[in-house]
Structure 1
Amino acid sequence: MWRRIIYHPEVNYALRQTLVLCLPVAVGWLLGDLQRGLLFALIPACCNIAGLDTPHKRFFKRLVVGGSLFAFSSFAIQYFGLLHVPLPVIMFVMTMLLGITGEISPLHGRLLPGALIAAIFTISLEGRMPIWQPPLLYILGTIWYGLFNWFWFWLWKEQPMRETLSLLYRELADYCEAKYTLLTRLTDLETALPPLLARQQKAVDLINLCYQQMHMLSGGKQNEYKRLTRAFQVALDLQEHIAVSLPQPEEVQKLVEQSHAEAVIRWNAQTIAKRLRVLADDILYHRLPDRFSMSKPLSALEKITRHHSDNPVGHFCYHHFSRIGRVLRTQRPLYQRDLMADRQRRLPLIPALRSYLSLKSSALRTAGRFAVMLSFASTLALFLNMPKPYWVLMTTMFVSQNGYSATRVRIQHRALGTLAGLVIAALTLRLHVPETLVLLVMLLVTLVSYLFIRKYYGWAMIGFTVTAVYSLQLLSLNGADFLWPRLLDTLLGCLIAFGGMLWLWPQWQSGLLRQNAHDALGAYQSALQLLLGNEQQPEKLAYQRIRVNQAHNALFNSLNQAMQEPAFNSHYLADMKLWVTHSQFIVEDINAMTILAREHTMLTSDLAERYLQTCEIALQRCQQRLEYDGPGSETNIMEAPENFHEGPITVVERHVRRILSHLKVMHTISSLAWSQRPHHGNWLSGKLRK
């Protein structure tokens, strides 16, 4: 029981965040300086936003950089304020200077909002203490935050990777169960495919996260991560076999009508899914897995395969289920991969600065958007005679996300949660509760809020608003005066963030669809060059297969976000949805061909070269159609692939021919859809970036 409590991801996260916040408050209360303890507890908010709680092999180096940026931001906003530099100018210049962190790496990019939050918090402290105290407070707070998290991750050293791997195994279980439960409904692509594609993309997202964690933790070089590394390699094998494409739907229907194959296949899939969920719990709660065997469902499937040897569906399912069963029984991957070979690189400062100064830099656009929003909010605060507009600026920062849909949802949750929290605080402030009881209730509310914040941000905001009101009540006895102005500030900050995301250099996913589609086709071409080339090296094939899945994942995520953006052509998005569906079929065929290449069931060199040339021509024509801004023409329509030889078609040839047929449909869709594309900025209508 205690394992399920202490190792549960939400509980573990809530305990860590609550202790790092409340221990300084408790120490300050015991020493008779509660106000100093409450101020000290504000620093972890900046550290959380800056990602300084991310386990990393350069953990302390990132703490030094983060603490230095916090102190610099705090000192700069006070110093230039004393020089009577207008607040909008300070916020604009500071944001544009710190925006270069986003060009170094995505993790460094999180330092920008953290440093800006530090500067905004400092606005509330101006005039209450000397100019040197807030920077010192940020330095000491960052040291405390870093030491506490270092100790916490030392106690639970493997826990971040265990949580991700557990989620990955659960997602694979859901995907396997859903895919083979819908076996006879796969003919209806409109209803059956979207849920399967969503589950597949979640699994790829988690695989990508596992890779990132291994690189950040140097997991491949540390002995304590060997068991988790093996579990990750097992998950890659499972994803490879679960994600392969089924044969033709008409063959599936024929086998189901002639036998009880549907029940047997579902039995196998549910057995695999049940075992994967057990392994997910074993990984998360530090338990050794028990013995496993699926010989009975596999025997039943083998019997159906023998009786219907002319139907490829039975052979397909038995081939993949038997290998999945072997992996689950032995808990060892089918072959070893060097997971650390594809290392993530950081861009040095000088090249990052050169890239940042380009108008095509996404980091520059992000920093510019923040700079304009904060400058506008500061100007509006000066116009409305707000003495310290920190709450408007802070709300703008907290609700601003990477995309339109995420920002809109965060704004709704923040506004409603703040309103409910202020109502609760207004009612409870009349009770005149003793200080000791107030602190205990704040501790409990903080713990409960962190339990819900990952999945239910709005509910968590209710608790955080109540604790913020009572913190001000304990600091300056003006909690009641805080209620109405802070609600207006919250609404104002939400409106500014929404307008900034809508009109200021937005990263419209519908505009990125073309680039992501182009990148996906390039990844497919690289994979086919390896698969149909002279040397099929398992390590290179494994990495390229993951790159193919990740490229399609970026395309799929762009499509999902684009469908939630305002004022876009629904016909264009419907056509692109069909384009992405055929792209998914190509990914599944490449997954299957990767398995066949590793098992040495490939084509002859001459035949493979001719197929490769045809595939490259088809892929390049699809890419040219995406690069060409004019209407479609008959000269670009691809002809049907020629018959290279007479005789029976092998399994690999069948996959290649299916890829060619999908590319032909995708080229036709591009020709029809591209003229309907939206035009929402110059960067959408020019040539693709190189």
Structure 2
Amino acid sequence: MISLAGYTFRQRLRAFAGRAQPLRVLLTLGSLVALCEFTGHPEALIPLFLGAIASALAETDDSWRGRFRAQVVTLVCFAAAAFAIEALIGEPLLFITALALAAFCLTMLGAVEARYKAIGFATLILAVYAMLGIDNRPASDAADWVEAVLLLAGAAWYGVFSVLWCAAFPAQPVQERLIRLFSVLGDYVRFKASLFEPLRGIDIERKRLSLAQLNAEVVAELNAAKESIFRRIGARAPTGRIARYRGLYLIAQDVHERASSSHDDYNALADAFFHSDLLYRCQRVLGLQGQACQRLARSITRREPFVADAGTVQALAELRSAIEQERERATTPERLALLASIEALARNLLQLDGQLAGASQPAAQAGRTDMGLFDRSPRSWREVMERVRRQLTPRSALFRHALRLAIALAAGYGVMQLVHPAQGYWILLTTLFVCQQTYSETVARMGQRIAGTALGVVVGWALLQLFPQPLLQSLLAVVAGVLFFATRTTRYLLATAAITLLVLMCFNQVGDGDGLIAPRLVDTAIGSAIAGLAVLLVLPHWQARRIDELAATAMRNHAGYLRQIVQQYRSGARDDLAYRLARRNAHNADAALSTAVADMFREPGYVRPRAGVALRFLIRSHTLLSYLSALGAHRVALPDAERAAVLREAAEGAAAALDVLSAGLERGEPDAAGAGLEESCVRAALATAIDPSDGADQAARLVRTELTLIWLQIDALRDHAREWLQPEGKVPAEASRAAETPQDECTPLSS
């Protein structure tokens, strides 16, 4: 009984620790309230709170050593900003010049990596907080540096909790990342199962579009989990829970590749097996495996061994039995060829189930020869400067955002001087929070910021009337601060209301909180309007104008992934770093294209006249990636040298065609030549290399099927690229004629 109680307590403690940042904010703000009450200096609460909040905004996932180094850099940046504001606040021209320059430079830090992006943004936030403190200071304290010192003290105090927390719970962030990863992966797998509905007239293209969007979420979680793991191991071999978590991450990568695979055209399968239960059985197996991913997420949450479900094993056995019965009834070569695709799918599902079952052992991935992770962080100051230099171009979205933010803050300062110089710095703070890198994000934040501020001031006014006691108001400010950090990434409207409530409670300690209500609403509206106008007028970076660039990157990375796959059909499957990196690059590029297309549909209609073409291109690109994933999932050395040579020629030709398509998209010029003689010969050889109904060489037959499907997607992608790039959507006459070359004009392919 004692043991059970102790186990329950440990579970609750781990769940408590998993709430991470809001709890650190609670400890920090709560201790600051206690300190100010004990010392009798309630006026110090505002700068201490604001410094702690800015420090929390600068926090990123890291080891305790990395967090300590980042905290030192953060405090140096904060000190420079706070003392610069104190020195320049009385010189408007110098002040606004320095503010605009600082906004540009600090935003460009995002080119280095996410850690410095957060530090740069938080430094700008602290600079505005310093302005707010000076604005509310008595005129007699014009040269009071205590305000800046208190801001830094609050930031440092949060940093103490942050570093100690990272040291006390080093694996907790990795655990949380893996929980989210397997939860999202389970959603993806379960949705993928819906593609196996053997119904006629199903809109598969719409389902593939939804699948591409879900895939972008999975890719984002994979990247976040990898970075979280890498920050804790670096170049060292991991031990303990981190070693197990790295194994689980590699399992997630393999499950993702197998789950994202497509073995044939789904409409063709639905037509062929309309009166069979084969596809329903495939759907059931994949649905159970999606549930297994989510059960694995729960087992990671509880730190319990993962137990595979025997129901999936039985469902796989029933699927194999159904395939055998269908083979006895199949008579036509076309039906046998499609049945071969179902057999390949069944083998893939069996391997996927084996990957999930391996998660029950901490050393599940010990048999891998290469478990390395690719380090994307800069290795030297020269690389840091090179990353920033590459972004110093008007073509860069980051450069445009940095320049736009600098101009928006300068405009906000000018409007503040015209409207009401006193308490007008809320305009700058609102502009800073609302102005985002994309139009869609900025517009979404405008509405949520205004509505959240209105909600916050209404609730704040009511609470000020109900609880006039200063201590209770301080405690309400602590609760509001915790709520802000608990909701700022998921429910921005509620987070805005919470931070507004915190501000009202804090400023009421040293003045009239009611007097802030009207200026806060007006300044929020003005700041939001400035942010909206800036993103609309200052170097607008419409997604529709960069689709060709993102599409080119996707095609280039698809080609790199295909080449890595082809190499492994020579020597056999090996999950080395080069292969996993090519696979991850392909999925990253596909996710970036998916995100951009989704954002494009939230932009004004006049900037996206051919949005439908981009949507169709995305669907074809993701379908192509699913066929590449199927090739990658079934990697094996091909024994027949002559057949293998033909298949490799076809794969290399497809990779070369993707490179040509990528180059054309980068230049903004459609490929008007169509298929050349060499390509036509390669495709003709592929069509006759293997009899689809021949079951003698399953691997070669699968490669031939997948390559045929890949070439069909390349044809469709070429058509969409021409339509996208050609003015007014007119396709040149020569582009519509594929070079159909008779077989007798093709020279035999050498082995």
Q: Could you state the TM-score of these two structures normalised by the residue count of structure 1?
A: 0.90
Matched residue, 1:490: 524
Give the secondary structure class of the aligned counterpart of 2:165. helix
Tell whether 2:156 aligns with 1:180.
no
Of 306-315 and 111-120, the range deviating more from structure 2: 306-315
Q: Which one-letter code corresponds to 1:200 in the other structure?
A: N
Among candidates 237, 241, 258, match of residue 221 of structure 1? 237
Give the secondary structure class of the aligned counterpart of 2:307. coil
User: Cα–Cα, structure 1 residues 171 and 353, in superposed 2: closer, same or farther, change >3 Å?
Assistant: closer
Among candidates 485, 507, 512, match of residue 472 of structure 1? 507
CA distance in 1, matches of 2:81, 2:315: 63
- Measured after TM superposition, the shift of residue 255 of structure 1 is 5.8
Among candidates 606, 626, 648, match of residue 691 of structure 2? 648
- Measured after TM superposition, the shift of residue 377 of structure 1 is 0.5
Q: Which one-letter code corresponds to 1:528 in the other structure?
A: L
CA distance in 1, matches of 2:354, 2:99: 59
Tell whether 2:706 aligns with 1:669.
no
Spell out, residue by residue over 1:307-345, the C-alpha distance to the aligned partner (whole angstroms, 9 max, x if none).
Answer: 123313431332122112222223234962645442113
- Measured after TM superposition, the shift of residue 392 of structure 1 is 0.8
Matched residue, 2:218: 203
Tell whether 2:558 aligns with 1:524.
yes
CA distance in 2, matches of 1:54, 1:370: 28
Give the secondary structure class of the aligned counterpart of 2:635. helix
CA distance in 1, matches of 2:425, 2:626: 51
CA distance in 1, matches of 2:31, 2:170: 22
Matched residue, 2:342: 314
User: Cα–Cα, structure 1 residues 358 and 182, in superposed 2: closer, same or farther, change >3 Å?
Assistant: closer
User: Cα–Cα, structure 1 residues 529 and 359, in superposed 2: closer, same or farther, change >3 Å?
Assistant: same
User: Cα–Cα, structure 1 residues 119 and 581, in superposed 2: closer, same or farther, change >3 Å?
Assistant: same
Matched residue, 1:7: 15
User: Cα–Cα, structure 1 residues 262 and 142, in superposed 2: closer, same or farther, change >3 Å?
Assistant: same
Among candidates 461, 464, 468, match of residue 496 of structure 2? 461
Alignment of 1:436-451 (within 5 A): 436-451=471-486
Matched residue, 1:146: 159
- The answer (yes or no) to whether the contact 1:520–1:551 under 8 Å persists in 2 is yes
Alignment of 1:242-641 (within 5 A): 242-254=259-271, 256-290=273-307, 292-293=309-310, 294-309=312-327, 310=336, 311-331=339-359, 332-333=364-365, 336=368, 338-346=370-378, 348=381, 349-352=384-387, 354-355=389-390, 357-431=392-466, 433-476=468-511, 478-533=512-567, 534=570, 537-539=574-576, 540-568=578-606, 570-598=608-636, 604-629=643-668, 633=672, 641=683
Q: Which one-letter code corresponds to 1:145 in the other structure?
A: Y
Q: Which one-letter code corresponds to 2:575 in the other structure?
A: P
CA distance in 1, matches of 2:706, 2:541: 36
User: Cα–Cα, structure 1 residues 338 and 20, in superposed 2: closer, same or farther, change >3 Å?
Assistant: farther
CA distance in 2, matches of 1:583, 1:250: 18
CA distance in 2, matches of 1:144, 1:337: 45
CA distance in 2, matches of 1:105, 1:623: 27
- Measured after TM superposition, the shift of residue 570 of structure 1 is 5.0
Q: How many residues align?
A: 677
CA distance in 1, matches of 2:63, 2:24: 13
User: Cα–Cα, structure 1 residues 371 and 642, in superposed 2: closer, same or farther, change >3 Å?
Assistant: same
- Measured after TM superposition, the shift of residue 180 of structure 1 is 1.6
Spell out, residue by residue over 1:220-273, the C-alpha distance to the aligned partner (whole angstroms, 9 max, x if none).
Answer: 633130111111111112111111014233552256434322442333223222
- The answer (yes or no) to whether the contact 2:52–2:155 under 8 Å persists in 1 is yes
- Measured after TM superposition, the shift of residue 203 of structure 1 is 1.0
- Root-mean-square deviation (CA, aligned residues, Å) is 2.9
- The answer (yes or no) to whether the contact 2:36–2:42 under 8 Å persists in 1 is yes
Tell whether 2:102 aligns with 1:63.
no
- The answer (yes or no) to whether the contact 2:61–2:173 under 8 Å persists in 1 is no
Identity of aligned residues (%): 18
Spell out, residue by residue over 1:557-616, the C-alpha distance to the aligned partner (whole angstroms, 9 max, x if none).
Answer: 111111111134555111111111111111111111112225667975532442144214
Q: Which one-letter code corresponds to 1:324 in the other structure?
A: L
Spell out, residue by residue over 1:260-294, the C-alpha distance to the aligned partner (whole angstroms, 9 max, x if none).
Answer: 22442333223222222111011123223235433
User: Cα–Cα, structure 1 residues 51 and 365, in superposed 2: closer, same or farther, change >3 Å?
Assistant: farther
Alignment of 1:75-94 (within 5 A): 75-83=83-91, 85-94=93-102
- The answer (yes or no) to whether the contact 1:67–1:138 under 8 Å persists in 2 is no
Give the secondary structure class of the aligned counterpart of 1:416. helix
- The answer (yes or no) to whether the contact 2:368–2:575 under 8 Å persists in 1 is no
- The answer (yes or no) to whether the contact 1:87–1:378 under 8 Å persists in 2 is no
Alignment of 1:131-170 (within 5 A): 131-170=144-183
Q: Which one-letter code corresponds to 1:239 in the other structure?
A: H
User: Cα–Cα, structure 1 residues 354 and 317, in superposed 2: closer, same or farther, change >3 Å?
Assistant: closer
CA distance in 1, matches of 2:553, 2:187: 29
- The answer (yes or no) to whether the contact 1:215–1:340 under 8 Å persists in 2 is no
User: Cα–Cα, structure 1 residues 265 and 625, in superposed 2: closer, same or farther, change >3 Å?
Assistant: same
CA distance in 2, matches of 1:89, 1:459: 34
- The answer (yes or no) to whether the contact 2:187–2:290 under 8 Å persists in 1 is yes
User: Cα–Cα, structure 1 residues 258 and 5, in superposed 2: closer, same or farther, change >3 Å?
Assistant: farther
CA distance in 2, matches of 1:673, 1:576: 7
Of 316-325 and 346-355, the range deviating more from structure 2: 346-355
Give the secondary structure class of the aligned counterpart of 1:474. coil
- The answer (yes or no) to whether the contact 2:230–2:373 under 8 Å persists in 1 is no
- The answer (yes or no) to whether the contact 1:625–1:667 under 8 Å persists in 2 is no
Give the secondary structure class of the aligned counterpart of 1:507. coil
User: Cα–Cα, structure 1 residues 528 and 245, in superposed 2: closer, same or farther, change >3 Å?
Assistant: same
- Measured after TM superposition, the shift of residue 417 of structure 1 is 0.9
- Measured after TM superposition, the shift of residue 404 of structure 1 is 1.4
CA distance in 2, matches of 1:377, 1:198: 36
- The answer (yes or no) to whether the contact 2:480–2:502 under 8 Å persists in 1 is yes
CA distance in 2, matches of 1:5, 1:564: 43
- The answer (yes or no) to whether the contact 1:187–1:249 under 8 Å persists in 2 is no
Give the secondary structure class of the aligned counterpart of 1:597. coil
- The answer (yes or no) to whether the contact 1:27–1:37 under 8 Å persists in 2 is no
User: Cα–Cα, structure 1 residues 460 and 351, in superposed 2: closer, same or farther, change >3 Å?
Assistant: closer
- Measured after TM superposition, the shift of residue 665 of structure 1 is 1.1
CA distance in 1, matches of 2:75, 2:728: 45
Give the secondary structure class of the aligned counterpart of 2:120. helix
- The answer (yes or no) to whether the contact 1:168–1:207 under 8 Å persists in 2 is yes
Of 249-258 and 410-419, the range deviating more from structure 2: 249-258
CA distance in 2, matches of 1:406, 1:245: 33
Q: Which one-letter code corresponds to 2:658 in the other structure?
A: L
User: Cα–Cα, structure 1 residues 620 and 98, in superposed 2: closer, same or farther, change >3 Å?
Assistant: closer
Structure 2: state its 5+ residue gaps: 1-7, 328-335, 693-700, 730-751
